[in-house]
Amino acid sequence: MACSFLCKLWPPMETVRRFRSPYSRTRTAPLVLLFLLLFGSGGGGGGVLQAVAASTDTILPGEGISGNQILVSKNGEFELGFFSPGSGIHYFLGVRLSKLGENSPTFWIGDRIAVTVTDLPGVALELFGDSLYIKDAGASLWWSTVAGNGSSSGAAVAVLLDTGDLVVRDKGNFSQVLWRSFDCPGDSLLPGGRLGLDAATGTNVSLTFRSFSHNGTLRIDASRRNGFVLTTDGLDNRGAFPDWMMTSQDNGNSLVLNNSDAPNSTEFLQFYLGQVSLMRWNRTTAAWVPLWTFPSDCKNGSFFCGDFGACTTGGKCQCVDGFTPSYPMEWEHGYFVTGCSRSLPLSCETNGQTEHDDSFTMVDKLQGLPYNAQDEPVATAEDCRVACLNKCYCVAYSYESGCKLWYHNLYNLSSADRPPYSKIYLRLGSKLKSQRGLATTWIVLLVVGSLVLVVTCAILAVVLLCRYRRDLFASSKFEVEGSLIVYTYAQIKKATGNFSDKLGEGGFGSVFRGTLPGSTTVVAVKNLKGLGQAEKQFRTEVQTVGMIRHTNLVRLLGFCVKGNSRLLVYEYMSNGSLEAHIFSGKSGLLSWHVRYQVALDFGMAKLLGREFNSALTTVRGTMGYLAPEWIYGQPITKKADVYSFGIVLFEIISGRRTTERIKFGGHRYFPTYAAVQLNEGDVMCLLDSRLEGNANVTELDVTCRVACWCVQDEENDRPSMDQVVRMLEGVVEMEMPPIPASFQNLMEGDDSAIFFEEN
């Protein structure tokens, strides 16, 4: 079954940008797209074509659609027409999701040859005989579904199916498919689409990517389960699809993309520049988000960081000197393949000058040199530099074992962990050098000024601190600040029996049981450890938690400061902590109804908790409940508490500590197992086995979804606590949350995964 027949080539190719990113409403990525235009000869080829109504899904013999008309599937989900990838200059025949409009990716049909906007009114897609054709106003044949002119016998019909597949069927035998667009998928695949060999038709389907300087294919690897091979510029990268994504057919010779278990979900498989992703449309955020991506980091993917992006030894992408992310928001969400752009253009790009205008910066400690270098016959490193300067499109040079020049955007830049190292000299715009000199001057001034300011502030801080401590401890008796009591260290020591009755220990310090002097009031005393972190935590809790009165929050009664000691006095929880009720069972088993109310009350308490006015940078908390930004040293906002809340939700649901290793199939970490089972629609298996299935399934599903949304890797993907409460109350609808990338690594058996265990 042939995909297309080229009758005439379009004029020189134009660079356009096509929808690509999962994080933007109209994101695109560099593609050089060709398209084919064609004409059918049957029945007086230049005759008037009958227009197809926009509401129909079928093209009958002799009918068709013009350049400004569309064909709509019966379920209204898909539309066929000529669409522009964003520039509005070139149009291509393709299928897209009708409800998303400009937010939809376009699944191109044919060989992707462009139709200019001026030619669009005269272009038409027609059905003659058993073939589809595209023609222009001059009745020239450009593309067809078979190698030939077809016939005018009216033996076939074309239908846009509810799956987005455009098929040509025999009119006499409607079950016989003569041609289908799913056999020629381009670089994207819709659910129901096939990769590999179709035994019935003999068609071998693969995804392809093309640009000026790069070509790639994605094909299945029948030698391994759900295996595939990504080939980009001759480099192979092998991987495997998760079982939940693909269904194997024809003895493993083909794979079919599954429909999602999530109701009304919109998904597709995307292949671009050495990376394949399963994308899902998130109606809440109006953005495409990746459910699964391969490779998952730049160490395993040659083109992961895009143009002029470098992979660091830690597996992170960064732009090389003189470049910035082409799409900063995409980089913030971890989608780096769109690459980096020059901060300043090269001289010859603006005024035609070459020599002496541009400069070079050294990029060293590389793991090998980039691909596609051309040798230059010169004798010295200086001659090599001059040779590059004299060529407008030379972007970099290297002189190690001879002179090498690069004329295309650089990919595959990777920092080496150990020698041998390589280095290149990257060409920069002429103004950047002078800007650097100015920047250096400013940096020196800022550093000197900052030092003076820091010293002045330090002296002032010491003076104020001495005065503060003197005033604070001037009296050893009880003093009242607002509603908080200032205790002496001796009083706390006596109340706790010299800190003898220890209740527990966490990331902030230890908690002791005590009785206030002269009364029967039982209290819990938290002794903060680590002066640097404790001071910040102490100030935060005294200034904020101490001012809050809420039934769902333990009340702060007072505090104590002496030397390096920081102590907080709380109400004592006579019924024990949530931990005692969930894990030990000593306090009685909590029913599902009670657990659901606890989750909702916990969320409402979080709403009244402290709010961050600025990002924090100091790690605080119990390992295992910390968000990824704690671990990687990134700035911390209130979304870190949302992550911890999600982990607690998993524990409330399951009755087990998430920090413990588990053995459920291939899963060792419970949140990973929970995320997978949630996506597969089996939430009852996550419920505490001691409840014996006695739970409201709807509430359980809602709680599992909220928990999975809370533990997303990127803080921007997590809901706020206000949204969490509304989700738990059922006020707002939720999409099925994606499986976090960190969980995917655990699913794939990454032995470097970290398990937190408390001693």
Count, in order, helices (H) and strands (E) of the chain: 14, 48
Distance of alpha carbon 404 from alpha carbon 385, whole angstroms: 10
DSSP state of 249: E
Distance of alpha carbon 58 from alpha carbon 80, whole angstroms: 11
Asked if residues 209 and 269 have their Cβ atoms less than 8 Å apart, the reply is: no
Give the 3-state secondary structure of 255-306: EEECCCCCCCCCEEEEEECCEEEEEEEECCCCEEEEEEEECCCHHHCCCCCC
Helix intervals (H) in 390-429: none
Number of Cβ within a 10 Å radius of residue 86:
15
Report which secondary-structure segment, H or E, holds 544: none
Residue 517, SS3 per DSSP = coil
Asked if residues 124 and 64 have their Cβ atoms less than 8 Å apart, the reply is: yes
Tokens of 440: 């250096």
Residue 663 annotated as lining a ligand binding site: no
Taking only Cα atoms into account, the Rg of the chain, rounded to an integer number of angstroms, comes to: 32
DSSP state of 747: H
Distance of alpha carbon 674 from alpha carbon 544, whole angstroms: 35
Residue 58, SS3 per DSSP = strand
Place of tokens 């071998």: 204
Distance of alpha carbon 652 from alpha carbon 592, whole angstroms: 9
Bridge partner residues of 671 (DSSP): none
At how many degrees (to 10) do helices 592-607 and 639-654 cross?
170
The CA angle 399-400-402, to the nearest 5 degrees, is: 65
Number of Cβ within a 10 Å radius of residue 69:
16
Q: Could you say which of 170, 250, 297, 601 is catalytic?
A: 601
Number of Cβ within a 10 Å radius of residue 109:
25
How far from chain centre, in Å, is Cα 204? 31
Asked if residues 208 and 187 have their Cβ atoms less than 8 Å apart, the reply is: yes
The candidate with the shortest Cα–Cα distance to 79, out of 143, 162, 167, 190, is: 162
Report which secondary-structure segment, H or E, holds 90: strand 90-97
Active site residue 601: yes
The candidate with the shortest Cα–Cα distance to 676, out of 624, 609, 743, is: 743
Is the CA virtual torsion 295, 301, 304, 309 positive or negative?
Answer: positive
Place of tokens 């250096």: 440
Tokens of 359: 């400069």
Tokens of 45: 């080829």
Distance of alpha carbon 250 from alpha carbon 198, whole angstroms: 8
Residue type, 117: V
Go through 156-174 and write b for each residue having 16 or more CB atoms within 10 A of its CB, e for each that does not: bbbbbbebbbbbbbeeeee
| 576 φψ region: left (φ > 0), alpha (ψ -120 to 50), beta (else) | left
DSSP state of 309: E
Is the CA virtual torsion 192, 194, 199, 201 positive or negative?
Answer: positive
DSSP state of 52: P
Instruction: Give the number of C-alpha atoms closer than 13 A to the C-alpha of residue 355, restricted to the C-beta side.
Output: 4
Tokens of 635: 């700035």
Annotated binding site for ATP: 526
Q: Which residues belong to the active site?
A: 601
- Binding site residue list: 526
